[in-house]
A and B are shown apart, each in its own frame.
Chain A
Amino acid sequence: MRTTRIAAAAAAALGILLATACTTDAPTEEADDTATETESGDEWFVQADYDEQLAQRDIEPEGDPNTPWLQAIEPEWVDTAAFAQEGGDATVCFSNASVSNPWRVTGWITMQQQVAVLQESGQIGEFRHSDAGDDDDQQISDIQAFVDSGDCDALIISPSTTATLTPAVEAACESGVPVIIFDRGVNTDCAVTFIHPIGGYAFGADAAEFLVDELEPGSTVLALRILPGVDVLENRWAAAEEIFADSELEILGNEFTGGDAAEIKNIVTQYLQRGDVDGIWMDAGDGAVAAIEAFEDAGAPYPVMTGEDELSFMRKWQETGMTALAPVYSNFQWRTPVIAATMILAGEQVPAEWVLPQDPITEAERDQYLEVNADMPSLHYAKFGGEDLPGFPDAWQDR
């Protein structure tokens, strides 16, 4: 009897282990953006930020529309004369959070190509980089190593998470090196410039507004989300919830997929078994094609859909002729930091907060983007902004 009891306890313990193990495998590397983890829910909605981002979408950015990576929305220019340097052999250092998703891989290639151009023209000497592999501790020590080396004339940081990296960024600022932050932010404004597209609320709102406009009142919408707890992804959904709440659309559910195509197809197939799905809202384009295929395989009419400017989705959109929108989290922002570094080292003014435009791709623009990127792999991003760089298209094709 005793042994049976032990057996029961052992089996229960194992069950717990296995059950927890299979619930904690969410691919955190998925997030394009900031990854500050706190509780989900309304924590993720800040009315002022939401209002600001939605307003920024309608503001004409300063600068040439042909080089969106140099445009800025309502910039407040800061003087950088203190950092001006003679000669062109400046060493620029870059601490990268990771290249663990296709969006970051695409951007990293673009940045390297931009660096090559600036090296050619003699504006940058050496370019050093480190990759923290989504590990905060690793990135803190990477930044420390750059500061300690004393070789960096400018330091670019793409932080892996907001709160944890803040002290490391502050320490870097105190060393006197001009610091440039991009993509995800930190809780300090000690950097010379913080470069980012408008943000998650704008992304989510673009998508939600499109569905509200295109669908009849009373239509059903399924929301597919990658994972909870990542702030920019949560912001996208918070904005969408805000807009859906004021509409007459019925939200069937919001499901976490981990960005896994098989999971997405399963979930969509099951919703289609329960009833009609008229629209699909996604917080990122990963696996969008699998969602569309679920409709094909179930023999259901194509939904009105929002994905992202990832080419696999855009190609499927063109092929099927469905009603869709590709919201954009501007990948071309990866060009801006190295250009900003050369501007700062030349003593030119830069915006303190460099807000880049973030325009979704509509059906009218779709074919043009697909044509330019015709030879690009399917996990490439249409608004990568590197078409004029000398390495195009080979550098992005051969990954």
Chain B
Amino acid sequence: MTRVRDLLLRATNPTATVFVLLVLVFAGVFAMNPGFFEGPSLMAFLKQAAPLVILAAGQYFVIVSGNFDLSVGALVGAQVVIAARLIDGEESRTLPVMIVMVLFGIGVGLVNGLITTALKVQSFITTLGMLMVLYGAIRLWTGGAPTGSLSESFRVFGRMGIEDVPVLGQIPWALLIMIAVGAGSVLLMRTRFGRILMAAGDNERAAALSGARVDTARTIAFVLSGLSATIAGILIGGFAGVSAQVGDGLEFTVITAVVLGGVVLGGGRGSVLAAMAGALVIEALFTLFNQMALPATLRPAVQGAIIIAAVAYAARRRTRPVPTATATPS
């Protein structure tokens, strides 16, 4: 009896909830269509899910340190549009443009981080402002519609993979990149930097008093988020090409994913692996709805209800109090 209780307790741990949910959703998908778990279609699912998972890792660093990054969706969109315009179909420009994108992503993250930490502007406002600046600047630069096109070699990362693998068919590059980013993030959270980040979100004052360079760590978190948006931009652009709507609303999807992963808004609690699993759950939910042929108009409502239920359930079981909104560092 106690063992069952233990198991139950562990399952209802906020971090574990997301994995339980993931299993449930996959079970649902399996019930609807067992063919989904055949190699090729599973690989296709992971390929399309990879960008959101990578974004979730980036967003995790920012959220766990007590901030938000609302600018990622606009940044992904900007990166794809910039890439299309600068590459303009020329294969030879692929690498230089990717370097420009990485620098741009770091730059945006750095600006977000410095404004938040040095100027003490609430990150919610900083990154909301950045979202609008990026959105507006891209519209201004392109006159309302993206121009140019991506080169074939640019699109390899998001679209291609290792071909002719037995059983699986194609192992997408996007999946390998996702695994690498995930592993890197887990390792990073185990370093001194990771502990400072966590401490900064948990109790900023205590962390600062114990000699941790909280502002530096938080700024780096924004840079990591900018980098993750860049990688996601390369994958999304590669996956589907350029359109004016790329990245629209991604910031909310990714924050939802991170929260679903049991990461506490306000910082200090949660694991990066669970945040990435949260992103997988969201993508799996989309798949499930599709398999159930749920009317398109009903899906957002069902998705919202499931997310609320999952987060509320996790919160009910959380033993330590959640920091209130006023504890959100500026």
Q: How far is the CA of A200 from the CA of B271 in the complex (A)?
A: 50
Q: How far is the CA of A16 from the CA of B300 in the complex (A)?
A: 11
Across-interface contacts of B307 in A (CB, < 8 A): 15, 18-19
Interchain CB contact under 8 A, A15 and B142: no
Query: Does A38 make an interface contact (CB < 8 A)?
Result: no
Interchain CB contact under 8 A, B148 and A261: no
Query: Does B176 make an interface contact (CB < 8 A)?
Result: no
Q: Which residue of the partner chain B has the closest CB to A16? A: B308
**Would you call the interface of chain B mostly helix, strand, loop, or mixed?**
helix
Query: Does B316 make an interface contact (CB < 8 A)?
Result: yes
Q: How far is the CA of A282 from the CA of B44 in the complex (A)?
A: 23
Name the one of B44, B146, B243 contacting A297, with C-beta atoms under 8 angstroms: B44
Q: Shortest beta-carbon distance, A131 to chain B, in Å?
A: 10
Interchain CB contact under 8 A, A100 and B144: yes
Q: Which residue of the partner chain A has the closest CB to B77? A: A260
Interchain CB contact under 8 A, B246 and A260: yes
Query: Does A290 make an interface contact (CB < 8 A)?
Result: yes
- The residue among B144, B297, B308 with the most chain A CB atoms within 10 A of its own CB is B144
Across-interface contacts of A256 in B (CB, < 8 A): 296-297
Name the one of A16, A40, A274 contacting B291, with C-beta atoms under 8 angstroms: A274
Interface stretch among B105-113, B217-225, B318-326? B318-326
Interchain CB contact under 8 A, A254 and B144: no
Interface stretch among B33-41, B93-101, B190-198, B202-210? B33-41
Q: How far is the CA of A11 from the CA of B324 in the complex (A)?
A: 10
Q: How far is the CA of A260 from the CA of B80 in the complex (A)?
A: 12
Query: Does B249 make an interface contact (CB < 8 A)?
Result: yes
Query: Does A27 make an interface contact (CB < 8 A)?
Result: yes
Size category of the B interface is: 35 or more
Across-interface contacts of A259 in B (CB, < 8 A): 243-245
Query: Does A264 make an interface contact (CB < 8 A)?
Result: yes
Across-interface contacts of B305 in A (CB, < 8 A): 19
Interchain CB contact under 8 A, B304 and A16: yes
Interchain CB contact under 8 A, A253 and B240: no
Instruction: List CB contacts (< 8 Å) of A1-54 with chain B.
Output: 3-4, 6-8, 10-12, 14-16, 18-23, 25, 27, 30, 40
Interchain CB contact under 8 A, B304 and A20: yes
Interchain CB contact under 8 A, B259 and A15: yes
Query: Does B90 make an interface contact (CB < 8 A)?
Result: no
Across-interface contacts of B245 in A (CB, < 8 A): 27, 30, 258-261, 263, 286-287
Interchain CB contact under 8 A, B144 and A290: no
- The residue among A101, A270, A274 with the most chain B CB atoms within 10 A of its own CB is A270
Q: Shortest beta-carbon distance, A313 to chain B, in Å?
A: 11
- From known contacts A19-B308, A259-B245, infer whether A287 and B315 are also in contact, taking CB-CB under 8 Å: no
Interchain CB contact under 8 A, A25 and B33: no
Query: Does B241 make an interface contact (CB < 8 A)?
Result: yes
Name the one of A8, A27, A258, A262 contacting B316, with C-beta atoms under 8 angstroms: A8
Interchain CB contact under 8 A, A10 and B249: no
Query: Does A289 make an interface contact (CB < 8 A)?
Result: yes
Across-interface contacts of B159 in A (CB, < 8 A): 293, 297
Across-interface contacts of B287 in A (CB, < 8 A): 270
Query: Does B154 make an interface contact (CB < 8 A)?
Result: no
Interchain CB contact under 8 A, B290 and A19: no
Across-interface contacts of A264 in B (CB, < 8 A): 240
Interchain CB contact under 8 A, B236 and A262: yes
Across-interface contacts of A263 in B (CB, < 8 A): 245
Query: Does A377 make an interface contact (CB < 8 A)?
Result: yes
Interface stretch among B54-62, B118-126, B250-258? B250-258
Query: Does A273 make an interface contact (CB < 8 A)?
Result: yes
Interchain CB contact under 8 A, B44 and A261: no
Query: Does A373 make an interface contact (CB < 8 A)?
Result: no
Across-interface contacts of B290 in A (CB, < 8 A): 267, 270-271, 274
Interchain CB contact under 8 A, A15 and B311: yes
Q: How far is the CA of A40 from the CA of B297 in the complex (A)?
A: 10
Query: Does A378 make an interface contact (CB < 8 A)?
Result: yes
Interchain CB contact under 8 A, B315 and A18: no
Name the one of A23, A252, A378 contacting B149, with C-beta atoms under 8 angstroms: A378
Across-interface contacts of B48 in A (CB, < 8 A): 262, 265-266, 269
Q: How far is the CA of A271 from the CA of B146 in the complex (A)?
A: 28
Q: Shortest beta-carbon distance, A309 to chain B, in Å?
A: 15
Interchain CB contact under 8 A, A11 and B314: yes
Across-interface contacts of A262 in B (CB, < 8 A): 48, 51, 236, 239-240, 243, 246
Interchain CB contact under 8 A, B44 and A102: no
Query: Does A228 make an interface contact (CB < 8 A)?
Result: yes
Q: How far is the CA of A265 from the CA of B48 in the complex (A)?
A: 9
Interchain CB contact under 8 A, A104 and B248: no
Q: Which residue of the partner chain B has the closest CB to A102? A: B145
Interchain CB contact under 8 A, B308 and A12: yes
Across-interface contacts of B321 in A (CB, < 8 A): 3-4, 6-7
Q: Which residue of the partner chain B has the closest CB to A109? A: B143
Query: Does A105 make an interface contact (CB < 8 A)?
Result: yes
Query: Does A389 make an interface contact (CB < 8 A)?
Result: no
Query: Does A116 make an interface contact (CB < 8 A)?
Result: no
Query: Does A242 make an interface contact (CB < 8 A)?
Result: no
Across-interface contacts of A261 in B (CB, < 8 A): 240-243, 245-246
Across-interface contacts of B35 in A (CB, < 8 A): 273-274
- The residue among B143, B242, B265, B315 with the most chain A CB atoms within 10 A of its own CB is B315
Query: Does B20 make an interface contact (CB < 8 A)?
Result: no
Q: How far is the CA of A104 from the CA of B244 in the complex (A)?
A: 13
Interface residues as binary, B19-45 with A (CB distance below 8 Å gives 1, 0 otherwise): 000000000000001011000110010
Query: Does B147 make an interface contact (CB < 8 A)?
Result: yes
- From known contacts A259-B243, A290-B243, infer whether A22 and B142 are also in contact, taking CB-CB under 8 Å: no
Query: Does A379 make an interface contact (CB < 8 A)?
Result: yes
Query: Does B286 make an interface contact (CB < 8 A)?
Result: yes
Interchain CB contact under 8 A, B144 and A101: yes
Q: Shortest beta-carbon distance, A355 to chain B, in Å?
A: 27
Interchain CB contact under 8 A, B315 and A7: yes
Across-interface contacts of B318 in A (CB, < 8 A): 4, 7
Q: Shortest beta-carbon distance, B141 to chain A, in Å?
A: 10
18 A-B pairs, CB-CB below 8 angstroms?
Answer: A4-B315, A7-B316, A7-B318, A8-B312, A11-B315, A12-B311, A19-B303, A21-B252, A25-B252, A101-B144, A101-B244, A260-B240, A264-B240, A270-B291, A289-B241, A293-B241, A377-B147, A377-B148
9 more CB-based (< 8 A) A-B contacts, given A3-B322, A261-B242, A378-B147 = A19-B304, A30-B245, A106-B145, A261-B245, A262-B239, A262-B246, A263-B245, A289-B241, A298-B44
